[in-house]
Each structure stands twice: as C-alpha cells, then as structure tokens.
Amino acid sequence: MWFEKSSNEIIKEFNTDRINGLSSREALIRKDKYGPNKLAGKKKKSVLRLLFEQINDVLIYILLAAAVISALLGEVSDAVIIVIVVILNAVIGLIQESRAERALESLKKLSFPKALVKRDGSIQEIASEEVVIGDIVILEAGKYVPCDLRLIETANLKIEESALTGESVPSEKYAENVLEGENISLGDQQNMAFMSTMVTYGRGVGVAVATGMNTEIGKIAKMLDEDEKNLTPLQVKLAQLGKALGFAVLIICVLMFGVAVIQKRDLFEMFLTAISLAVAAVPEGLPAMVTIVLAVGVQRMIKKNAIVRKLPAIETLGSVNIICSDKTGTLTQNKMTVTKFYADGILNDISGLDVKNKVHSALVKDMMLCNDATYSADSKTGDPTEIALLELGAKFDLYKEDENKLHPRANEIPFDSDRKLMTTLNKFGDKYDIITKGAVDNLIKLCNSIYVNDNIVPLTEELKSKIMDASDSMSKDALRVLAAAFKRVDSTEIEIDSMERGLTFVGLVGMIDPPRENVENSIEECRKSGIRTVMITGDHKNTAFAIAKELGIAKDSSQVILGYEFDKLSEEDAEDKIDHLRVFARVSPEHKVKIVKTLKKKGNIVSMTGDGVNDAPSLKTADIGVAMGITGTDVAKDASDMILTDDNFSTIVEAVKEGRNIYNNIRKSIVFLLSCNIGEIIALFIGIVLGWPSILRPIHLLWVNLITDSLPALALGVDPDDPDIMKEKPRNAKEGLFSGKNGALLIGNGILIGIITLSAFYVGTRIYPNSLMHAQTMSFVVLSVSQLFYTLSIRHSEKSMFQVGIFTNKYLIGAIVLGIILQNIVITVPFLASVFKVFRLTLNDWLFVLLLSIIPLIVNETVKILWNRIVKS
C-alpha cells in the first residue's frame, strides 16, 4: 500500500522527479499505457431493453399466450383487451424507471477539469484527464484532488473527505506520516489524498499513484457497475405467483381433457372450455393494477418530500425492519456547531453563554478574530471548525467583518499542525492583543494567568486542573475542544518567537456535528414499530457513539464496532454478532456493503440511507437505498431507489407508513382478484364434472376479470391509510402474500363465490329449462355483482365495514356502482348482448341474483364479528 512507503520510496518506485516532474514525452507514454484519468462509462440501456424488462414477467407471458390463443380461436376482442392491459403496464413502468442507472455518469462528473502538475521542470495547468501515474501534482486551498496521491510535501494541509469517508471534519494531512498495517481505513491514511476530495486549507505536493478506475472513487464505480439487480419482496412474490398460476393453467387444461375423454365429450368443445378455465385462472388485471397502485403511491410520496425512482421500492419500505443510516448529513446536520463552553470558571451549554459577561464576550470575540474563515447569511468559506466559531458569534449579533474593522489584524502566526495553534496580533485602541487559539493541551502550557471575574489572576495548578476537567468532560461527549488565550502588548514591534509566551487563558469551546431536529423522535417511533436503526459512519468511534447514544440508537459501547474489526470476522461470526451491533465506525465503502449483505442474510429487509459517494455501493446493495436530495451527491441519488427532498430522516418514517399501507392495499387487491378467480374456476370445474353445459363463456370470464374486477381492485389499491398501521410490527420478509388469515380468506371466499354462481346457473336451468343462455346470464351476473359487494368487506381483515367507514373510499363506491351499471348495459343493450351472448333478465331474476350476490358480504362481516368476540374473550 502506498501509505506504508516513504516519499523517497514512492519517488523511486514511480521513476519521477520531485523537482522537475515528468517530461511531456514520458507523460504521453504513460497515458498510452495506463489510459486517461477518467472513470469508465457504463453502457446505457436502450428503450427496447427497458421495455423488455417491464414485460419480462411470467404473468405477462401467460397473458400474451392467452391473447394469441384467443385470436386464433376468433375471439379477437378478448385478445385486443389483453394486449391493451400488457401495454399499459409496460408503459407506466418504463416512464417511471427511464431515468435510472446513471450512477457512473455522475461519478464521471466528479473528475474535475483542471490540475496543477510539474512537467518539464515547470508548473503547468492541464486537464485532469491528462494526469498520469508518477505526475507531481500541486494542491492548493479550494482545489479538487485530480487523482489518488501519495503526499510528499504539506503545509497545514486539510482535505474535506466526507463524501468519500463519511468523516464530518476535514482531515489533516502529513507528508511523512508512514503507516503500517492492513487495517488502516481511508480516513486514517493521512499521507494520502484521494480523487474528487477538496482541499480546504493549506497546500501540498503529491505523486500520482492511481488514476481513473484504479482510484478509490474508481473502485466504488466498479462496485456500482458489478452489483446485481435486487428484486423487492413484492416482485419476488408476484413472480412466484405467476409461476404458480402458469402451473395451475397447465394442470387445469390436462384435467379438462381427462374429463373430456372420460365423459366422451367433443374434444374441440372441451378445448374451448379448458381455455375458459385458463382465462379464469389468470387475473388479467393484476399486473396493471399493481403498477397503477404503485404509481399513485409515488405521487402521494412526492407530497411527503420523497421521490421514488423505482415503482416497487415504495412497497419495500413497508416491510423494512432495519434502517442503516449514515451519520454525517443524514442523522446529523453536516456542519460543526458549538454546543458547550467553559469560561469564568463554569462549564455550561452554549445557551448559558452571556455576551454581557466580559469573559464570555472575550472568548467569543477572540475565537472570531483568530480565524481565517468568512461567514455571512449568503455564503461561508473556510474550515468548518472556524465557520462554526463565526456562526457562534452571529447568534449573539457579533460578526467578524465588524470585529475586524474595530480590531484589524496586524500580524499572525499561521496554524501549524505540529504546534496545533494559530496566533494573530490585533489592534485594540492604542494597544494590541495577541490572540491564540488551538488544542487545550498545547495552549495551557503557554499560559501563566487566567481571565476570571473580569480580572487577570495567576493560573494555579488547581485552576489548571479545573480547565482540564472541563476539557475532558467535553471530550467524553465526543466534542472537539478548542481553547483561547490572549496577551496585551504595547506595539507591533514584538518578536515572533515571544508572541506565544506568557498568555492569559480565556476559555474553551466544544463543538460537534449535531443531530437533526426530530430525528430522535423518529428513531423512537421506528423502535416502537419494530424497526431497528443502525448507524454506519466513517467518523471516529467516540464521536459516532456519542451521537448514537444521544439519539437512542445505542446504549453502551459494546454495541459499537470499527469497520476493519467487523471486516475481519468470518461470515458465521459476523452473522452471530450483527444483531447486537448498532454502530459501525470508521467504515469504508466495502465495509458498508458487507454490513448490508450480512443483515440481509439474516432475513432482514434493509434500508440504507446516505448522501456521499462512499454510500453509493451500499445504497444499491440494500433492499431499498434512500439518498438525501439536498446534501446528497449525484452518485448517491442515482444509486438509490428513493430520494428525500428535505434531507429529513423523519421523512423515512412517513415513507414506511405509506409503504405499509400500499402493501396492504395491494395485498387485499390481489386476494380479492384471486378469490374471484378461484370462484370462477370452482364454478366451471364442478359444473363440468357434474356433466353440466358450460356455465360461463370465455368472454364472460374476460369481462369479469378485466372490467368488473379491475375497477374495484384499483379502488382497493388506493384505500385510505389505516391510522393504526404503525402499531404493527414489520411483516416477515419470508411471509407469503396469503399468510395468516389471507389464505383462508382467499380460499373461503373463492369457494363461496363459486357455490353461489353454480346455484344461480342451477336455478336458471330449472326456471328456464329451454334457455341455456338465460341460465348462463344469471350465473354471469351473480359472479360479477357478488364480487363487487364482496369488496366492501375485504377492506380490513378485523374491522367491520362500518368501523372502516362505508363511504371513506369514494372510488370503491363509484367502482361498485359503475360495475353494476356496466353489467346491466351488457345484458340490456342488444348489440352488446349479442356479442356477449346473454339474455335480458326480468325484475324477479334481478331480485334473485342480488340476494345471492350479497351473501359473501354478509358471511364475511359475520365472521369478523364472531372472530373479534373470540379474541376479546
């Protein structure tokens, strides 16, 4: 590893010149050998490929086969209706997902256009694509790092690496900090600079050791490119359902021909009947229903500050039982903020600071004057730590611009990473103040007095002990502690070496990247709902644990582990320990992927939230990746399934609620459709076994499945939210669509619908023995209308339709009314009646079929009442 070697070893290994750099000729040779310094693009999917992915589904294939067979048998109208359903399903999905798979394009944008290099003995500005292995690259504040570098010279160099490592503050860099060991994380490789990170302070020189796809950013690009597509739980279950239905269709056809042979029926007639049963077995409206319900859910989520990029992702949220969250920018605000201070002998929260107290005021003003950052309401530049000090002053209407006018800087000693101090000389009236800020351990050694009660008194060992106790207390809370001191002098004629001697201690400030508002409440709501929150961060262990403890994610340090420690565990040990762990600190992108994969192996449905480039691979690996919309990088957004437009962790909880409700709605729609189809199969099959004529024609079944069933199914799909949904625990990922009561509901109602349909046909043949069409019409109407009434009871498995509210879903009421009207039109309009081969029913016929049709509703409501009484007793 490059960070393990000295700068001289690196210079020798890459055969470069520290002073003159590479020659132009050598640079061309190396570019031809290693290629340009850019990330490889990923081939875009064509519209045809995306369209194929939408229709590549067993259910769709069964529908298309049914359409072809229907067309060959002359039932052109049946075939046309099926094809329309398939096209509608594909187009909706295509529109929603057409912008996906652009992660590598966004990564390419992070390769910034210009770089300063030494070539032919002079400094040249070249396109970053032209940087080659062995180039001597010069870094300055405000510049992006063009490739991975082994630093050979530094001067107070700090680099912002949060997008890559997740660390909330810029990393200090050193040229000769030679490290050894394979467990050194990226954030701890202080003699390395990585592609696409930004220099915030100082300057440096480095040797290009990796370019393009061989950089750390490039490794992430490869991980995104190679990661295979994950199917959501609903997609898996629908695929399984499609296979089961396809198998059922084959079994039905074989049984029908078996019955035909035994009963010596006409084989062609039985072939038509088998096709009828095949049509009955497949819910033609199911794919379109699921797609449309998910699309409607997407629109509802937009109003709740969440953009869903892939339709099935919204239902996945409903089954999530673990949310893995990045710390920086997701759980926290991604900006350093002063939260505590120590001055005038008192340690307190920042809310207790009083600028009327002269010691307090001196502490704030000294921190602002000894500061190189700039801050205003519109912009801020500089080191995040120094910006936090200026924001502290702004809270008390103190601004650096005003203070600089009153107390202009006359001299300075810049910050030095060895001294860990910065000193300025500022004019105060006819005198000057030397102001020093920095690490408390270093600064207190330079002080011989302390500013207390508006007096300067000797700094005794007892007072020193109190200062260090205050510093330790802040450090235990993972605060970054800075101290301030001053000394008054008569003029600017003072030797630099003596400026930082005999100082007067003023006070301390402690800062941290604080949690976002309402995040703690959201995490608690998740906990009550059976959802575990796990923090995954590149930050230091103590800092991560402090935030996790404050938010209620972790209770003790045994729940925290370092990334390299987890990576060293075997698969078995990792799976054994991961249920106890709540915080993963100092992790790399590879560690994050392993964590997510281990959680998934344990049968969890995992959501991963994040905003940085380093989060992208794990966002893609998770069951659902959630990116931040404001602070999130393009890479994170394009690798995700959902984007939060307000960057609020609390929005995830709302998304989970929406996901749970949508899944419930889809499931009851599927149960409704399939129980209706089972009813059709039972009615047809029993009728044939009993030797009756076909009680329903293929076009009757197609009408019921595509029109009468589909509209109520869609209405069920947009059923209003259940207010008690978050009182339920996340469903088991292995749980089937028909687990629990749903299976009994499906089969029981299927049998019930089948029996009343057979009853209608039997009574019709007795009342009208010479009119098969009349009996078929009665069974056709009962099959259709009974399913419409049945929707009222299926809205909730426990609450009665009166508790849910009959008119709370106006779409469903409209679908029922419209369904009955359409059914009446089909049997009363002469042209349609001839197409459907049905008979106009009399008033008595209608009364009879309506009485039969309401039976499933009455039975279901009665069962709910009895069930609730049994449970309560």
The model's pLDDT over 801-836, given as tens digits with 9 standing for 90+, comes to: 998 898 999 999 999 999 999 999 999 999 889 888
Instruction: Report the pLDDT value the prediction gives residue 1, as an integer from 0 to 100.
Output: 75
* pLDDT tens digits, 450-473: 999 999 999 999 999 999 999 999
> With 90 as the cut, is the pLDDT of residue 152 above it?
yes
Picking from 136-140, 549-553, 607-611, 699-703, which range would have the lowest pLDDT averaged per residue? 699-703
Other Cβ atoms closer than 10 A to 31: 17
- Considering the four listed CATH numbers 3.40.1110.10, 3.30.70.20, 3.40.50.12780, 1.10.1660.10, the one that applies to the domain covering 337-512 is 3.40.1110.10
3-state secondary structure of 333: coil
Residue spans in the chain of domains classed CATH 3.40.1110.10: 337-512
If one counts every other C-beta atom within 10 angstroms of the C-beta of residue 821, the result is: 10
- The DSSP code for 647 is -
All CATH 1.20.1110.10 domain ranges of the chain, comma separated, are 285-305+659-720+735-872
Lowest mean pLDDT among 170-179, 364-373, 780-789: 170-179
Domain ranges in the chain with CATH number 2.70.150.10? 2-41+106-226
- pLDDT, averaged across the chain: 84
Q: Looking at residues 657-668, what average pLDDT do you find? A: 86
Residue 73 has a CB neighbour count (10 Å cut-off) of 15
Two structure tokens written together for 303: 């109003």
318-333+516-647 CATH choice from 3.40.190.10, 3.40.50.1000, 1.10.10.2120, 3.40.50.12280: 3.40.50.1000
Architecture of the domain whose range is 285-305+659-720+735-872: Up-down Bundle (1.20)
**CB < 8 Å & 24+ apart, contacts of 685-688:** 685/252, 685/255, 685/277, 686/754, 686/758, 687/758, 687/761, 688/256, 688/259, 688/273
Q: Which fold has domain 2-41+106-226?
A: 2.70.150
Q: pLDDT of 532-590, one tens digit each? A: 999 988 888 888 898 999 999 999 999 999 998 999 999 999 999 999 999 999 887 78
User: Which 8-state DSSP code applies to residue 705?
Assistant: I
Convert 745-760 to b/e letters by CB count within 10 Å (16 or more is b). bbebbbebbbbbbbbb
- The residues with which 355 forms a beta bridge, in sequence order, are none
Residues identified as active-site:
326
For residue 166, the model assigns a pLDDT of 67
DSSP 8-state assignment for residue 537: -
- Has residue 397 got a pLDDT over 50? yes
User: Could you tell me where in the chain the CATH 3.40.50.1000 domains are found?
Assistant: 318-333+516-647
Largest CA distance in the chain: 123
